[in-house]
């Protein structure tokens, strides 16, 4: 893969509803970073978790149809036509079967950038062996994992589904969602961190908190990890915001208690690095907190 030689490969592995789309948009504006034109390639999770395939493959198909429907005339079929380029991207993603295909997708697109990357939040549910394969794919591979208060991430996930799926009611799904892997597993940071510990050297993993993401200090940390010059984004511009539905105190307490094991694990591991939002929820609903 000639165009990837000497470059750093960065994979964002989640968590879902923890600022990954915002981070991807930031990467796409940085001149030293090539961000995949399909932010979420879902290469590793669709191979490892078959239950994810129907929904995600249908989403890819919808995107492909949308791109195809906007290529109106043969003379538009040129590299300058964004819909044609989008169509090519999704066709190549459908044809992506092997790790060589996956890397070739980047090799055909990366130019002078020092870093190339993709971000698929569903990777957070993968096992150690999957992360090991991911990390060994390219000589210089780094992983980024962002955690958000687990109860708030869960609720944001439900609200986002209500926004994009006709007939989905976040309130009605609230309690049933606790037994749905699609929602709960993505707040199980204990699983993700332990799998990363087993598979990837510590220096090749950057763990962040969503609550601290939109700050100059975190951008400086990310750019240092990627070894690219610091460029500050528009911190006020958010993307993929969920429907604005307030969570009652009773339900918030239920969610915090449901993920008590995650709070406990993260607090023991990161101590005072844990954001105030987490500490407040723990103090209010679990009768415990983190020392200031």
Q: What is the DSSP string of 78-121?
A: STT-HHHHHHHHHHHHHT--SHHHHHHHHHTT--S-SEEEEE-G
Element (H, E) at 284: helix 276-285
Give the pLDDT confidence of 72-108 residue by residue, as tens digits: 766 656 667 788 888 889 999 989 999 999 999 999 9
How far is Cα 86 from Cα 203, in angstroms, rounded to an integer? Answer: 35
Long-range contacts: 45-48, Cβ < 8 Å, 24+?
A: 45/120, 45/122, 45/123, 45/125, 45/126, 48/126, 48/127, 48/130
How far is Cα 223 from Cα 53, in angstroms, rounded to an integer? Answer: 33
Give the pLDDT confidence of 208-234 residue by residue, as tens digits: 999 999 999 999 999 999 999 999 998
**Whole-prediction pTM:** 0.92
The CA radius of gyration of the chain, in Å to the nearest whole number, is: 20
pLDDT value of position 289: 52
How far is Cα 56 from Cα 65, in angstroms, rounded to an integer? Answer: 14
């Amino acid at each position: 893969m000639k165009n990837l030689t000497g470059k750093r490969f960065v994979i964002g592995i989640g968590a879902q509803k923890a600022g990954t789309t915002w981070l991807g948009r930031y990467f796409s504006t940085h001149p030293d970073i090539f961000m995949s034109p399909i932010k979420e390639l879902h290469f590793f999770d669709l191979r490892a978790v078959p239950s994810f395939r129907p929904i995600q493959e249908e989403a890819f198909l919808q995107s492909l149809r949308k791109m195809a429907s906007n290529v109106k005339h043969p003379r538009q079929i040129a590299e300058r036509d964004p819909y044609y380029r989008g169509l090519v991207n999704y066709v190549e993603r459908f044809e992506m079967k092997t790790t060589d295909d996956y890397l070739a997708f980047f090799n055909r697109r990366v130019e002078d950038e020092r870093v190339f990357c993709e971000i698929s939040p569903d990777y957070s549910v993968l096992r150690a062996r999957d992360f090991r394969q991911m990390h060994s794919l390219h000589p210089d591979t780094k992983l980024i994992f962002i955690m958000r208060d687990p109860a708030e991430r869960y609720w944001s996930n439900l609200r986002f589904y209500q926004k994009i799926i006709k007939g989905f009611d976040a309130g009605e799904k609230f309690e049933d969602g606790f037994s749905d892997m699609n929602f709960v597993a993505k707040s199980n940071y204990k699983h993700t961190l332990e799998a990363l510990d087993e598979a990837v050297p510590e220096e090749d993993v950057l763990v962040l908190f969503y609550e601290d993401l939109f700050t100059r200090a975190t951008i400086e940390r990310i750019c240092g990890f990627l070894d690219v010059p610091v460029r500050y984004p528009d911190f006020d511009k958010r993307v993929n915001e969920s429907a604005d539905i307030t969570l009652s105190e009773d339900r918030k307490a239920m969610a915090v208690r449901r993920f008590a094991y995650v709070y406990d694990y993260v607090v023991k591991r990161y101590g005072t690095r844990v954001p105030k939002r987490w500490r407040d929820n723990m103090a209010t609903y679990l009768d415990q907190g983190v020392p200031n």
